[in-house]
Structure 1
Amino acid sequence: MTQALPIQAILRRTLLGGALVLAAPAAFVQKARAQDAATTAEQTIAAMTKIFGDHPGKRSNHAKGVVVEGSFTPSADAKTLSKASVFAGPAVPVTVRFSDATGLPQIPDGAPEANPHGLSIKFKPADGTEMDVVANSLKFFPVATGEEFRDLLVAITRSGPDAQKPTPVEQFMAAHPSAPKALATARTPSSFGRQVYHGVNAFLLVDAVGKRNAFRYRFVPVAGEEILSADDAKAKAPNYLVEEMPARLAKEPVAFRVEAQIAQAGDSTKDSTIPWPDDRRFVDLGTLTLTKAVPDSQTVEKALLFMPNNLPDGVEVSDDPLIDARVQAYAISFGRRSQ
């Protein structure tokens, strides 16, 4: 096993966040872009491995998690915005994975580095047109491109205890003021089911006549958000989040309101470091109801792959370059843990 860098002394918060590259005028340009994206993704995963160590069979980031199941019941408004079968009704089965940040499988759930927490959902309607959604508890993303995210990770690898001040990661943060601002929005919940999750990337809802609305997801716990103080989080048992969710589901369902924040003219869809104003319209897409934990979460999660571009007709990727960056990195990470 590769020795991980002492990330607690390097960075108190960490993260990872996969749309296809938009059509270019010439085929060779498309190929070059795809190669560049793949190279960036490989460098990203390599940097993660250097930071967190090599943990066979585990994700390069968000390595620790728990898998549960339930259903999604779409709202009446959802079918007016998208022709996707997942929004047409009736309820569809879902597989959901909650996770801690970092590539450390044994990270304490209450550690600051375990933020932001992740929420990944695979919708499985009867017609077979699956849809994946990947969200986390950050209100917006620290960087705008896959290259910048790679550069952040590389800066962390070069910012060990003996690094000259200002360290590379301190220089990166100073040059990218959105990064520390985004990381400051990550907080520790009392339960995976008591935290708001955000889809930081923009996507498009396409209705029956072809009208497109740019939007971002938000998942709001029906029971309300409950955030712990730093002291209370530190005092929690190391696995309190991954153990609490199955225990909670054994007693009662856990529900989230699934919302779409609709962009207005001028709102950026390609820069996930820029949150849209709170006065933008939020549309109720439906209710996500979780009812049971899977019997062997660690075995199931190894085979699960959530790809942000795995979308049905009626939902499309936007021009956000981070979507493709995530797709590329997730594919490499999946290949590594499947070996």
Structure 2
Amino acid sequence: MTRSPIRRTLLGAALLLAAVPAASAQDASTAEQTIAAMTKIFGDHPGKRSNHAKGVVVEGSFTPSADAKTLSKAGVFSGAAVPVTVRFSDATGLPQIPDGAPEANPHGLSIKFKPADGSEMDVVTNSLKTFPVATGEEFRDLLVAITKSGPGTAKPTPVEQFMAAHPNAPKALATAKTPSSFGRQVYNGVNAFILVDAAGKRTPFRYRIVPVAGEEILSADDAKAKGPNYLVEEMPARLAKAPVAFRVEAQIAQPGDSTKDATVAWPEDRRFVDLGTLTLTKAVPDSETAEKALLFMPNNLPDGVEVSDDPLIDARVQAYAISFGRRSQ
């Protein structure tokens, strides 16, 4: 790969889906090829996630807004504050990747909501505005292209050919940024979901999670100068001094907005609804143990929130289940 910002962030962004196998039995060969490609890229790291291997776990609460319960009948939006467990992470399957490395982009933020009624909900987001590919098959092809594009590969390399054939991929990768803190970055739900209210009205939306303190992005030189663990160390230190808050927003789709193509952003003039405030208050005592046990599933949803027709949601579900099984062995 070249040294351009897009190429350097390609590796991390491409692996957001972990080990994406296809959802059906007849596509087993796709799963095998995908897992083999990932292993070739990163090696095997027992007990760690296939992707976003490096992270930190914190806890806090989510307080829904008054508007949230008008859009969804889910208990998480009913009005009472809900306990949450959150994991911030770097991209790639490398547990020791420096936090400021371009390949550590995009960063992830995953939330597990735990309301009193037991209707648990998971939300998985990252710092890209869109995703580079639209299907699990395209993701496999991207991984294979990466494995075939090492130093000395004739140009155009397979990954360069892939990028040329998928013009939305470089657009997505160009949005990768390195923050001063996990708590100073905007995170996006690139997949669409559906809010369902008490009357059955369905509202397609995408998540956006915005730091109350504002986004603070580092230059490439400043990021490079940071310590290798500055993000995972800074968050617990920050929380020891004061809570960190995010606004959880829903970007509402208009007729004609695609809910099944994560490579396409919806126009910024679409309505954003404030769903509530995420307030993080403390780091867990043993993040490594907590990370190994945590499983965030995009389809782990309560009544009142549903998956859309985006094929990447099911691809992620299949991927995360396999990754969890492997690190639990």
- How far has the Cα of 1:17 moved from its partner? 2.7
Q: Which residue number in structure 2 is paired with residue 84 of structure 1?
A: 74
Q: Which residue number in structure 2 is paired with residue 75 of structure 1?
A: 65
Q: Which residue number in structure 2 is paired with residue 17 of structure 1?
A: 16
Distance 1:207 1:38, change over 3 A: farther
Structure 1 counterpart of 2:172, one-letter code: A
- Equivalent residue of 1:227, what SS? coil
Gaps of 5+ in 2: none
Whether the aligned pair in 2 keeps the contact of 1:41 and 1:329 (CA below 8 Å) is no
> Given the alignment, which residue of 253, 256, 270 partners 1:263?
253
What is the rounded CA distance, in whole Å, between the counterparts of 2:42 and 2:3 in structure 1?
A: 11
Q: Which residue number in structure 2 is paired with residue 25 of structure 1?
A: none
Identical amino acids, percent of aligned pairs: 87
Structure 2 counterpart of 1:335, one-letter code: G
What is the rounded CA distance, in whole Å, between the counterparts of 2:44 and 2:174 in structure 1?
A: 28
1:316 to 2:306 alignment: yes
What is the rounded CA distance, in whole Å, between the counterparts of 1:89 and 1:42 in structure 2?
A: 45
> Given the alignment, which residue of 11, 19, 34 partners 2:24?
34
What is the rounded CA distance, in whole Å, between the counterparts of 2:29 and 2:203 in structure 1?
A: 32
Q: What TM-score comes out, normalization by structure 1 length?
A: 0.92
What is the rounded CA distance, in whole Å, between the counterparts of 1:258 and 1:185 in structure 2?
A: 20
> Given the alignment, which residue of 97, 109, 118 partners 2:108?
118
- How far has the Cα of 1:38 moved from its partner? 5.3
Structure 1 counterpart of 2:118, one-letter code: G
What is the rounded CA distance, in whole Å, between the counterparts of 2:245 and 2:98 in structure 1?
A: 25
1:82-231 residue pairs with structure 2 within 5 A? 82-231=72-221
Q: Which residue number in structure 2 is paired with residue 252 of structure 1?
A: 242
How big is each residue's C-alpha offset from its partner over 1:268-298, in whole Å with a ceiling of 9 and x where there is no partner?
0000100000000000000000000000001
Structure 2 counterpart of 1:204, one-letter code: I
How big is each residue's C-alpha offset from its partner over 1:120-169, in whole Å with a ceiling of 9 and x where there is no partner?
00000011110000000000000000110111011001111132211111
Distance 1:216 1:254, change over 3 A: same
What is the rounded CA distance, in whole Å, between the counterparts of 1:330 and 1:8 in structure 2?
A: 30
What is the rounded CA distance, in whole Å, between the counterparts of 2:310 and 2:82 in structure 1?
A: 28
The aligned length equals 321
What is the rounded CA distance, in whole Å, between the counterparts of 1:107 and 1:7 in structure 2?
A: 19
Q: What TM-score comes out, normalization by structure 2 length?
A: 0.94
What is the rounded CA distance, in whole Å, between the counterparts of 1:37 and 1:193 in structure 2?
A: 39
> Given the alignment, which residue of 39, 45, 49 partners 1:49?
39
Gaps of 5+ in 1: 1-5, 19-31
Structure 2 counterpart of 1:121, one-letter code: I
- How far has the Cα of 1:43 moved from its partner? 3.0
Kindly report the root-mean-square deviation, in angstroms, between the aligned alpha carbons of the 2 structures. 1.7
What is the rounded CA distance, in whole Å, between the counterparts of 1:311 and 1:325 in structure 2?
A: 16
How big is each residue's C-alpha offset from its partner over 1:302-330, in whole Å with a ceiling of 9 and x where there is no partner?
01000000000000000000001111111
